[in-house]
Amino acid sequence: MTAPSILANIDFSQPAASVAPQLIGVTVLVHGVGGRIVEVEAYDRDDPASHTYNGPTERNGAMFGPPGHAYVYLSHGIHWCLNFVCMEAGHGAGVLIRALEPLHGLDAMRLRRRQQDIRMLCSGPGKLCQALAVTRAYNGLSLAAPPFQLIARDAEAEAEVVSGPRIGISRAVEVPWRFGEAGSKFVSKPFR
DNA sequence: TGTATGATCGCCT
DNA sequence: GGCGATCATACAG
């Protein structure tokens, strides 16, 4: 059958802007290292700021694959960025994972980041990929199987989600598709 | 506290 | 050949 699109109680076959706020509070681990998601951004096919806006290419191919998989790309020739693919296969939407609250494997993260301050380990898309050792090798992999592990957020501890404009883009600047946990000290930039 | 800038490379025009 | 879904450092105030 088709790949599972429901992971950690989240249906990844929904639009990215619907999936994104639900991801706040979900724990993501790579080889057992990671933490709670506290900041994400949604990108859709009909979105001038999305890599998929102009259709499938070799780089963005994973986002046109099945939902619940990873899309990993290199930013500015330096930093890797991790996305979760949304909607049905062939659509081209995803959610950029921008920041985590580090919980598991802190020693490994500190070594990889060469940084002791816990707030500097995963407070940005490039930082968290370095902390979790995510590279192109993980592009297209299912989030339902190792090395990935998704853990649903605690139903009792519902996260309060706030939103605002996305960061570091030059088109569709005012679309409020950045989502974060209210009051979290681990986001890349505070929400206003 | 904030603005500016360099690093560095692959994708897309 | 231009330009990033970024980050760390170097300044200015």
Sorting pLDDT into bands at 50, 70 and 90, what band is A156? Answer: low
Please determine, for residue A145, whether its predicted confidence score (pLDDT) is greater than 60. yes
pTM: 0.92
Rounded to an integer, the average pLDDT of A4-14 is: 88
pLDDT at residue A159, rounded to an integer: 75
Q: Which nucleotide is nearest to A167 (CA to C1')?
A: C5
Confirm whether any atom of chain B, the nucleic acid strand, is less than 7 Å from CB of A135: no
Instruction: Tell me which of A4 and A129 has the higher pLDDT.
Output: A129
Nearest to A60 by CA among A69, A73, A45: A73
Between CA A175 and C1' C9 the distance (Å) reads: 31
CA–CA separation, A49 and A142 (whole Å): 25
Please determine, for residue A152, whether its predicted confidence score (pLDDT) is greater than 60. yes
Please determine, for residue A2, whether its predicted confidence score (pLDDT) is greater than 70. no
Question: What radius of gyration do chain A's Cα atoms show?
Answer: 15
Confirm whether any atom of chain B, the nucleic acid strand, is less than 7 Å from CB of A110: no
Please determine, for residue A1, whether its predicted confidence score (pLDDT) is greater than 70. no
Crossing angle for the helix pair A106-113 and A125-132, to the nearest 10 degrees? 110
Between CA A114 and C1' C12 the distance (Å) reads: 28
Q: Which nucleotide is nearest to A51 (CA to C1')?
A: C5
Please determine, for residue A101, whether its predicted confidence score (pLDDT) is greater than 60. yes
Rounded to an integer, the average pLDDT of A64-76 is: 95
Tell me the C-alpha to C-alpha distance, in Å, between residue A1 and each of A4, A5, A70, A99, A144: 9, 11, 19, 33, 15
User: Contact at 8 Å (CB) between A186 and A38?
Assistant: yes
